[in-house]
Structure 1
Amino acid sequence: MDQENDSPVVLRTLSERVALVTINRPKARNAINSEVANLLEEVLKKTECNPEIDVVILTGSGGTVFSAGADLKEVAAGRFSSLFTECGGFAGFVHAKRRKPWIAAVDGLALAGGCEIALACDLIVASESAEFGLPEVSRGLIASAGGLYRLTRSLPKVLAIELILTAGRLPAARAMAFGLVNRITEDGCAVDAAHDLALQISVNAPLAVRESLGIARLSYDLSEEALQKMSEESQERLMVTKDFTEGPKAFAEKRNPEWSRVGI
């Protein structure tokens, strides 16, 4: 599954059941160009189809910038639309349909589209020097790849609006205090910390994880009645899988469950 390291998007196996995806343009601050967008969409599809992968970690190379967002040279040349794919949206990722959990491992800056990519992930692990921000208005743009509403859902409304309108940055410690970040780690250790979190996820029943995640992602969008209906339908789907009986059986027999990953 591992790709060549000179690719602008690198996919490799980090450990059993965990994959690592790296945006690999350190000289360009891991900015998103058309090649990155198309490759990231392709990699996402590969991880979705691979039954050996349960959790994916997304990071940027170089250790100082997760991603600076859209490559402004592309934008200035009139190629802004090339940074979007039909299925995944910006970077081939922010609006892509996926069932498996993704963790953003943010070392350094996650700005503009880079912040939007992190917000599109399900969990965020950040280094102490990490900063988040949507500075688009300072360049005559808007954060049109989900940032305007995802940041407002993740932070107190007034703080999110302040960051959006001032093009300000949110340090990792403050992001943690307001619930934007799951964990903070020493600089250079974000991937390791994200891996620890991924391992805690990957020991659980993958079908149940995916069903749970799908409902949790919609918690801001649907009514309680609709979410309850979805929960009941998910439970019904799980009930006909081998994993539904394997979990309780393993508990009764005092052993670790052996998930079949067959079903839904």
Structure 2
Amino acid sequence: MADNSSEDVLLYDIVDRHIAVLRFNRPQARNAVNGELANAMVAAIERTEADPAIRVVVLTSAAPGMFSAGADLKVVSAGRVHELRPGDGGFAGLIDASRAKPWIAAVDGPALGGGMEMALACDMIVASIDSRFGLPEVKRGLMANAGGVHRIARVLPRNIAIEMVATGDPISAAEAADYGMVNRLVASDRVMDEALDLARAIVANAPVSVQESIACTRMAGDHSDVEMRRISRDGMKRVMATEDSKEGPRAFVEKRAPTWTGR
């Protein structure tokens, strides 16, 4: 199901009722982020968060062989960087946006600068063997300030992360997979199929359980073990207050697939 015009810079589709697929659609600019794309992302995030039927979001490109070149340097050079950070969402309206639902980046081709930062802002990455990840900002007298310089050290070994941010040189998707940054590495023509398979595996589970669980996991590196136990207990209370917490055990006893309501 699609809800777009041919001129849209960010295409929005719904797959299997519960999966929202967002596709960058600025191929002429290698999907570089301008103000229009950033504002479209803000609207898409608001839409996915507000729709109870959406349980997973997949972020990808409408054009094969590219993910995103990051910030549109024409906008940056014109001194209009503020256009790329609408509202409270940070770069591309995505980097700092509050999102309860899991996001999967489906990457085919280069994910550089802000493109890599957007992939890092997702919870999981499915990538083609032809993809590359890099933060080349230092080569342009800039800095990967949209989460890149600190998030990269959370998903890659420290020394590898420092080499990447200091040299600006990219790594291959195979290297990223070896280091654990990429969840699944596939052929280029399999990226979306693999991302949707991963999304469907998530959709099969209770929505509130997934959201509360990933909320804790996202915070794990920012809090002590004692604090995380408290956060986890609070999350469990919210899970146990749902109808789905009763449906899951009931379905197991009755030897049938559960019917989740998200409530």
Identical columns (%)? 47
- Counterpart residue number, 1:64: 65
Per-residue deviation, 1:61: 2.5
- Counterpart residue number, 2:248: 247
- Residue identity opposite 2:122 in structure 1: C
- Counterpart residue number, 2:120: 119
2:10 corresponds to 1:9 = yes
Task: Give CA-to-partner distance per residue, 1:78-122, whole Å, 9 cap, x none.
Answer: 111110122210000011001000000000000000000000000
Distance 1:153 1:9 in 2: 28
Per-residue deviation, 1:241: 1.2
- Counterpart residue number, 1:231: 232
- Counterpart residue number, 1:171: 172
Alignment of structure 1 residues 107-186 onto 2, 5 Å:
107-186=108-187
- Residue identity opposite 2:56 in structure 1: V
- Residue identity opposite 2:21 in structure 1: L
- Is the Cα contact below 8 Å between 1:25 and 1:31 reproduced in 2? yes
- Residue identity opposite 1:213 in structure 2: I
Which secondary structure state, in structure 1, belongs to the residue aligned with residue 111 of structure 2? strand
- Counterpart residue number, 1:193: 194
Gaps of 5+ in 2: none
Count of residues in correspondence between the two structures: 262
Distance 2:61 2:72 in 1: 14
| TM-score, scaled to structure 1 | 0.97
- Residue identity opposite 2:93 in structure 1: G
- Over aligned residue pairs, what C-alpha RMSD do you find? 0.9
Which secondary structure state, in structure 2, belongs to the residue aligned with residue 245 of structure 1? helix
2:223 corresponds to 1:222 = yes
Task: Give CA-to-partner distance per residue, 1:207-245, whole Å, 9 cap, x none.
Answer: 000000101000110111111001111111111211111
2:104 corresponds to 1:100 = no
Which secondary structure state, in structure 2, belongs to the residue aligned with residue 211 of structure 1? helix
Q: Which moved more, 1:200-209 or 1:233-242?
A: 233-242
- Is the Cα contact below 8 Å between 1:30 and 1:61 reproduced in 2? no
Distance 2:122 2:173 in 1: 16
2:88 corresponds to 1:73 = no
Distance 1:144 1:252 in 2: 50
